[in-house]
Amino acid sequence: MIIKILLITAALGVTVLVLREKVPGQREASRRAAGLLLVVVAIIAVLWPELTTTAANAVGVGRGTDLVLYLLVIVFAYSALATAQKIHRLQHDITVLTRELALSRPILPGGERPPLRPEGPVESSVHRD
Amino acid sequence: MSENEVCVIVPVHNEASTVATTVSDLLQHFAHVVCVDDGSRDGSADLARAAGATVLRHVVNQGQGAALRTGFDHVLRHTSAAYVVTFDADGQHLVEDARRMLERARAANVDVVLASRFTGTTEQMPHLRELILRAAVRFTRMTSRLEVTDTHNGLRVLSRRAIQRIDLRMPRMAYASELLDAIVPAGLTYVEEPVTVIYTDYSRAKGQRNSNAFNILFDLALLRLRATP
């Protein structure tokens, strides 16, 4: 029974964590720490498998391997969402770069291409066409 | 470009067969046409230039919203135009409608003039497309608090203030909803004008798939959930 609460909380928590990160990299340290913790836990579970059964029973799950499976699902979901988020940010970065390139190399009707222009003032009183 | 002037922005993606005509039609009534070539591979950029447009080229396709945003940034950085007209390259819009909408913007002194085919005229509009668009209108009226009758019309007039305040980031075609949603929170005034939208065999074959409506809804939902970076 406890396991149901834990899993639902984890599922919602993962979604919130991934979607609400305002500045990419602000939780880098926590993520790395969690990763290291996962490695440690994994090594312990491999060396003393009966501990997984103990932990499983403590939260209302019959077998240790089932608990490991549930944990895998949560970790995988987080990993997939975080990767999708990262890709989204990268696509935005590409758009910004593509735009800057387009803006700095306008092709005039006569066919001339002015040399790469540096960022001009935001409000220009002279139309440089 | 003087402060009274207008810049027409035409986003283009593989419209080689219609872009030259669209640009030359526009140039009969408007002095400045800017085509944003969104990664076309059929030579649209050259055709647009030859027809008399200034061309800004996205070397990689980024979507119509991104193309418009590039056009807006160009107008803000390199011109002092007071108004921007967005106009499709595929022949669905009439230059006369754009002219009338611009006059309305000036006369009514509004920031945004939206076009409505449902209070205007449609020619040969496919049935399923009409059903989906009308559903989209109901959805948008509920979510954006706008009194509009057509929500996915690429013909618009936007004041300089409007393009300064609207920040388009949505992928593909969801930008249209993003633009409308931004109007009220940005404190912009708007009116709607009846227009004619013509569905030719070309534009019907090339237009969005109806299933894209699902993608747009999904993108909008994600936008609401995500924190802005």
- In percent, the amount of chain B with pLDDT more than 70 equals 97
Sign of CA dihedral B174, B176, B180, B182: positive
Kindly report, residue by residue over B79-108, the tens digit of the pLDDT: 999 999 999 999 899 999 999 999 999 999
Q: Which of A23, A92, A106 sits opposite B54 (nearest CB)?
A: A106
| Tokens 């534009």 belong to residue | B203
Looking at residue A49, what DSSP letter applies? T
Cβ separation A109–B57 shorter than 8 A: no
Token pair in block for residue A62 = 């019959």
What is chain A's alpha carbon radius of gyration, rounded to the nearest angstrom?
25
B227 pLDDT more than 60: no
B3 pLDDT more than 90: no
B175 pLDDT more than 50: yes
Kindly report, residue by residue over B148-167, the tens digit of the pLDDT: 888 889 999 999 999 999 99
B47 pLDDT more than 90: yes
B51 pLDDT more than 60: yes
CB pairs under 8 A between A and B: 90
Mean pLDDT to the nearest integer, A100-120: 75
The pLDDT of residue A113 is: 63
The pLDDT of residue B103 is: 95
B126 CA: distance to closest CA in chain A (Å): 33
Mean model confidence pLDDT for chain A: 84
Burial string for A43-81 (b: 16+ CB within 10 Å, else e) reads eebeeeeeebbebbeeeebeebeebbebbeeeeeebeee
For residue B50, name the pLDDT band (cuts at 50, 70, 90).
very high
